[in-house]
């Protein structure tokens, strides 16, 4: 790692909503380089010449993911003929080659190869490249029958035993196509200073057009228009998302580390079904789940450590180890709120094998920071004394009963025995510096994770949690249909009063996070978008919170990075 992660000192707090200063000259140079790389994906949206010549086209851009010290997973999708659209099952087998270099001009080549893809894998290409230098920027390109893809930039992880001064990741979740434009991806891509970016779930949504838009409207229509059920449907929906220029830009700028949540399958999915799945009328859940997983692994640069799941672990030198969870494949069905089943030790959100894997990995890690990519909030959440006009929309957003019982059983709150076991493990083995990174809830949070929320802060905190809001999916002000900020002004103080481990909650705004890590602290900078329905939406810094090494507690900071 270089010193590009250093930030200028800030002696006075910035005004709320003021964009922070970005790093100095080196970062500016890197941003300019990133802009040059990002121009390439936009060319993929202009296929006229390729169509006229009949040459293959790379209409869905390029991507990379799951960086290792010596390797990276590269991805693209080739369209060999006009009829070979995603999910069609049409189109000939096509040979695709790739080249990897340490310079943008692709002259210093360090790896090359080829494979044949076809309709059986929806003409997607995944190449697991090894033998690369650690902590190094690389550029890559695919070629098929003389037609070139855009050029992408990626970066390998530091060597496992390397002393790393800093890491920086974009953090996003909940990108509903119909609810708005993906401006958050564009702003992250333009930074030019990211080691990678984390997608914490709901990369896409399964609904039919009009079922889940923006305050009851549709900004841009899904494809296919119906609810996705089959392998062809899920492939087509993935393909639709990767036509978005901002998403393609970020994929071409930095490697992604992704996990899934429920909407990559169906709303409130569990191991045996989903709230948004009707067995029989919509086919068998096992078939739908298998189709969703197959399409996901075809279309995402994800390298599963265990086949058919997204739980795995990545290391970034001695500074950080990232454990990524799959909280949909093994979980028990969500309990009815108030039934008492949330405390049943036979129910699980992780599954026994995954929970043991997580505990063992956290215990033996010698990294400074133990990060956990976590699709649903682990911090306990009580609703408190919300008024009826706020409680109803909150219940709708979180899946709570309208009578207002204070638990969201789709989160770890619905599986308290697993949470109790994991937090007790952290305390018993003195495992510090554990940070959960979470999406799903369409709100931004900065939390301590208490061992006993009822007696906190007298009882200890076992970890900390940074939750990023949705990029586009409806949050509370959208459901109530009031001006942005109205609900937070009323609800946030009540939520914090009922949850003393919550340092901050923003119920209303859309945006993303930037996680910056040094040996001394892990910090999340929260950014908000001006208007999710505007393709040219601006971005502004909102808040920053950090946890200092050895504290297991969150504090506000006025030094965004």
| Residue 133 forms part of a structural domain | yes
Read off the DSSP letter of residue 217: B
| Distance (Å, whole) CA 262 – CA 265 | 5
Give me the pLDDT at residue 491, please. 80
**Both 280 and 397 in a single domain?**
yes
Domain boundary at 103, 135, 155, which?
Answer: 155
Give me the pLDDT at residue 442, please. 93
| Residue 9 forms part of a structural domain | no
In order, the DSSP letters of 67-134 are EETTEEEEEEE-B-STT--TTS--S--EEEEEEEESSTTS-SEEEEEEEEE-GGGTTEEEEEE-SPPT
The CATH number of the domain where 96 resides is what?
Answer: 2.60.40.380
CA angle 237, 239, 241 (to 5 degrees): 75
**Both 212 and 137 in a single domain?**
no
| Residue 8 forms part of a structural domain | no
**Both 333 and 480 in a single domain?**
yes
**Both 349 and 247 in a single domain?**
yes
Domain boundary at 91, 125, 155, which?
Answer: 155
Q: Tell me the Ramachandran region of residue 143: left when phi exceeds 0, alpha when psi lies from -120 to 50, beta otherwise.
A: beta
**Both 442 and 524 in a single domain?**
yes
**Both 378 and 460 in a single domain?**
yes
| Distance (Å, whole) CA 113 – CA 111 | 7
Q: By residue range, what is the domain housing residue 192?
A: 167-556
**Both 396 and 447 in a single domain?**
yes
| Averages of pLDDT over each 10 residues, the chain, 561 residues | 36 39 34 37 38 75 98 98 97 98 98 98 98 98 97 98 98 97 98 97 97 86 96 98 98 98 98 97 98 98 91 98 98 80 92 98 98 97 66 60 57 94 97 98 96 89 98 84 78 86 94 98 98 96 98 93 81
| Distance (Å, whole) CA 66 – CA 236 | 24
* Residue count (the chain): 561
Give me the pLDDT at residue 338, please. 58
| Residue 7 forms part of a structural domain | no
The CATH number of the domain where 268 resides is what?
Answer: 3.60.21.70
**Both 151 and 286 in a single domain?**
no
Q: What are phi and psi of 206, to 5 degrees?
A: -90, -10
Please tell me the total count of domains within the chain.
Answer: 2
**Both 346 and 204 in a single domain?**
yes
């Amino acid at each position: 790692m270089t010193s590009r992660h250093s930030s200028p000192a800030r002696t006075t707090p910035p005004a709320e909503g003021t964009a922070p200063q970005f790093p100095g000259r080196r970062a500016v140079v890197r941003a300019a380089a990133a802009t040059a790389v990002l121009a390439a994906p936009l060319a993929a949206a202009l296929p006229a010449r390729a169509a006229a010549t009949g040459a293959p086209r790379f209409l869905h851009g390029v991507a990379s993911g799951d960086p290792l010290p010596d390797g990276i997973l590269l991805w693209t999708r080739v369209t060999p003929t006009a009829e070979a659209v995603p999910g069609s099952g049409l189109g000939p087998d096509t040979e695709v080659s790739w080249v990897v270099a340490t310079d943008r001009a692709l002259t210093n080549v360090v790896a090359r190869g080829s494979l044949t893809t076809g309709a059986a894998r929806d003409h997607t290409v995944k190449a697991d490249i090894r033998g690369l230098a650690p902590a190094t920027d690389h550029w890559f390109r695919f070629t098929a029958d003389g037609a070139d893809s855009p050029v992408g930039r990626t970066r390998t992880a530091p060597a496992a035993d390397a002393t790393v001064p800093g890491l920086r990741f974009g953090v996003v979740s909940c990108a509903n196509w119909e609810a708005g434009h993906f401006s958050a991806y564009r702003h992250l891509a333009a930074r030019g200073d990211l080691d990678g970016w984390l997608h914490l779930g709901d990369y896409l949504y399964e609904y039919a057009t009009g079922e889940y838009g923006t305050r009851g409207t549709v900004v841009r229509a899904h494809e296919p228009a119906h609810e996705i059920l089959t392998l062809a449907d899920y492939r087509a929906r993935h393909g639709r998302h990767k036509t978005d220029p901002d998403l393609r830009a970020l994929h071409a700028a930095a490697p992604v580390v992704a996990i899934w949540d429920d909407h990559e399958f169906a709303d409130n999915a569990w191991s045996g079904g989903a709230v948004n799945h009707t067995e029989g009328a919509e086919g068998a859940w096992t078939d739908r789940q298998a189709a969703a997983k197959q399409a996901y692994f075809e279309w995402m640069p994800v390298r599963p450590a265990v086949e058919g799941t997204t739980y795995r672990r990545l290391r970034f030198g001695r500074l950080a180890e990232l454990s990524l969870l799959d909280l949909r494949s093994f979980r028990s069905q969500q309990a009815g709120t108030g039934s008492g089943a949330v405390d049943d030790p036979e129910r699980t959100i992780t599954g026994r094998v995954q929970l043991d894997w997580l505990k063992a990995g956290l215990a033996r890690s010698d990294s400074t920071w133990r990060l956990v990519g976590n699709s649903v909030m682990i911090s306990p959440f009580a609703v408190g004394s919300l008024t009826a006009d706020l409680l109803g929309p909150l219940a709708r957003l979180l899946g709570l009963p309208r009578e207002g019982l204070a638990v969201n059983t789709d989160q770890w709150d619905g599986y308290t025995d697993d949470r109790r076991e994991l937090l007790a493990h952290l305390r018993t083995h003195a495992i510090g510096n554990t940070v959960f990174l979470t999406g799903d809830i369409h709100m931004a949070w900065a939390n301590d994770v208490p061992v006993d929320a009822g007696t906190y802060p007298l009882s200890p905190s076992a970890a900390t949690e940074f939750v990023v809001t949705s990029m586009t999916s409806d949050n509370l002000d959208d459901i109530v249909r009031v001006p942005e900020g109205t609900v937070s002004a009323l609800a946030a103080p009540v939520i914090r009063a009922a949850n003393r481990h919550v340092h901050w909650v923003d119920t209303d705004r859309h945006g993303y996070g930037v996680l910056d890590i040094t040996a001394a602290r892990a910090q999340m900078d929260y950014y908000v978008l001006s208007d999710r329905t505007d393709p040219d939406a601006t971005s502004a810094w909102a808040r920053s919170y950090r946890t200092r090494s050895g504290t297991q507690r969150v504090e506000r900071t006025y030094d965004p990075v």
